[in-house]
Structure 1
Amino acid sequence: MTRFALTACLLLTAMPAAADCVTANDLSKGVVFARADGHKGRVIAKGNGVFVDYAAGAPVWSDNRQTLLGIYELSSTHYRVEDPNMVGGGSTDTVQSFRGKPPVPVAGQGWSGVVKAHTRQNNSSESGGYDYDDRFKVSYAFLAERTVKLSGCSYKAIPVEANFVGKDNSHTQRWLYFPDLGFGLETRENGVDNGLTALKPA
């Protein structure tokens, strides 16, 4: 083997494998991700919706959401308990409906509307829980597009911030929406950051 061929062979062997980057086609099969709190998740398209499990594989903690585009939440189930031996607490199930059709995020634009929510708070009491209804005025801001790097791959991302204001309850959320992939993932809730640390095809 010539010195040139040997050098070329060594260079090819030393080169790192290309990153397994997510594409829009992967959403139908599933995309896995990780967040700063250590929880891993999965997002997948089903029918006309995007389903996000923010705690896939966690022993107790659950956080499942049926959404449009990964952003506009239609239903959710939360049970935020880490310790399998913990007693008490309970899950929260919420169903939301939007007045009007929420848009696909476009950087520099926004959307305002009304959201109606019905929540079932399950607990360990004799009554088993209680139900309540909320109505929110909501405003979404689609911020300037930027590039983020996750798992060795670069993606265009539009930060989306939402402010929900109700008569008795208010809250805020933030997502990163990936326009080339067709979905977004939550990165902040009520001022608490929980950013993405990994993104890969399932």
Structure 2
Amino acid sequence: MTETENVSKKLIEDAENEKREILAEARKKAETILKEAEDAVQTILSNGNELALETYKREHDFLITQFNSHLNQKFLLEKIKIVDEIIKSIIDRLENIDMDRIEKPLLKFAGDINIKNAVYQTGKNEKRITDSVVSRIFGSKRITKSEKEPDFDKGLKIIEGRKEYYFSERNLIDPESEDTKMQISKLLF
């Protein structure tokens, strides 16, 4: 071989070696870039999964809380309905109890009010509190029947000047009182 051929062969070998080195370096850089890209994808996926789980958990907790709140509200409304029905039942029973059972609260009512010269009215539909019952309950206190038509349905109203005292079975339990409702609720629930 001639020297030119040797030089050419040497140049070709050097070019081949350099080509291999460049390709090896390119492969190494490509692998590094692919590895970094793969790591970045894994990080993004991991962060995405964490965010998705966190969002799901938050939404799940919110929906559970909302559901529980709605359920508690329905439960409370049912409790209120039950308490109102019980109060109505109590009032119905009180309005229909015998006179001898209502006499004690009537005597207390008569003793609690301080009257000297009063008139009384019984409700338009009052059947139990009669004139004789009023005379017996108030005894020596000066009290006469009013000539005016009563403006209430049941019970007894004592009028002395500007003062008015009203007795009814509803006085024994105030159906609108929050205290009454709370006491019944405590007994039931």
TM-score after normalising by structure 2: 0.31
Structure number with the higher strand fraction is 1
